[in-house]
Chains A and B, each alone.
Chain A
């Protein structure tokens, strides 16, 4: 076997390898992009969780200091961020079944947070006007939505792993 023959043999083997690689690439790339999109969804949920947590702390702080107007403003900000979170997450693409489930749960969570924030704001307004019974009822409704939102958010976090 001459050197030329060996080179020819290597060339053929290389071509076989490349052909195999070209077949595998389309199979592997979707896996990669699916993971990337789920990672992006996870990052988005984390980012908005932090924002919501900060807003909730402001609501909590203002409520405990008996500042209903400030609490209302904080609640409005909470609603705004929850709505923006919902819009941002709905734009994310989830390609795996887990990712799609997590996306649905996260959207449900932020929808409930939006409702909770609206009830907090309404409760603060009622308290400002001296309607304490109404304020209490509205705060109770808010707590229900907040609890549901928490359950959905934690489930979404678990689904995203």
Chain B
């Protein structure tokens, strides 16, 4: 009976000790070796990469907006051909029309609803179609 008590208490002590050690390691992830350090470094680079890409996009859009040369219509007009392929809902068709650039603000607000996923899919299809068609 006493031995069983000792075994039970010992197991509980080991469990508690393990939790304590685990907590101590979790509290200081920077002291981990290998994957934890890699994750931290990767995280910083992810944000830096995003910032670089966004900055480049801003620069490109700004320079092209002021560019007086004509747009590449052959590559850009491919987007209209996919309109009939989306037959899910009426709202999807409406969102597809927005791809043409008339109602950009509506797109930003639409994304809160459940229909937004469908809208996003529409844009994805449209973009890839256009890129394949005449972008290159």
Knowing A18-B13, A69-B130, A70-B135, the reply to whether A153 touches B47 (Cβ < 8 A) is: yes
Minimum Cβ distance to chain A for residue B37 (Å): 11
Residue of B nearest to A125 (CB): B101
Interchain CA distance A129-B65 in the complex, whole Å = 12
Interface size class of B (residues with CB under 8 A): 35 or more
Residue of A nearest to B102 (CB): A125
User: Closest chain A residue to B17 by CB distance?
Assistant: A21
Interface residues of B in 80-136 (CB under 8 A from A): 98-102, 104-105, 107-108, 111-112, 116, 119-120, 123-124, 126-127, 130-131, 135
Measured CB to CB, the nearest residue on chain B to A72 is: B101
Total A-B Cβ pairs within 8 A: 255
The count of chain A contact residues (Cβ–Cβ below 8 Å) is 87
Q: How far is the CA of A138 from the CA of B75 in the complex (A)?
A: 23
Contacts known (A80-B120, A154-B48); A70 close to B127, Cβ less than 8 A: yes
Q: Is the CB of A157 within 8 A of B43?
A: yes
**Chain A residues near B30 (CB-CB < 8 A):** 161
How long is the Cα–Cα vector from A136 to B40 in the complex, in angstroms?
Answer: 38
Pick the contact of B76: A32, A59, A67, A125 (CB < 8 A). Answer: A67
The residue from A18, A66, A79, A140 contacting B108, defined by CB atoms under 8 A apart: A79
> Are A63 and B72 closer than 8 Å at their CB atoms?
no
A residues 66-84 with Cβ under 8 Å of B?
A: 66-77, 79-80, 83-84
B51 adjacent to A120 (CB under 8 Å): no
- Nearest A residue to B12, CB-CB: A18
Most buried by A among B2, B43, B44, B112: B43
The answer, yes or no, to whether B49 is at the interface (CB within 8 Å) is yes
Query: Does A21 contact B47, Cβ atoms closer than 8 Å?
Result: no
4 additional contacts (CB under 8 A) given A73-B123, A139-B62: A11-B6, A72-B101, A80-B111, A150-B54
Residues of chain B touching chain A, judged by Cβ–Cβ distance below 8 Å, are 2-3, 5-6, 9-10, 12-13, 16-17, 19-20, 22-24, 26-27, 29-30, 40, 42-44, 46-72, 75-77, 79, 98-102, 104-105, 107-108, 111-112, 116, 119-120, 123-124, 126-127, 130-131, 135
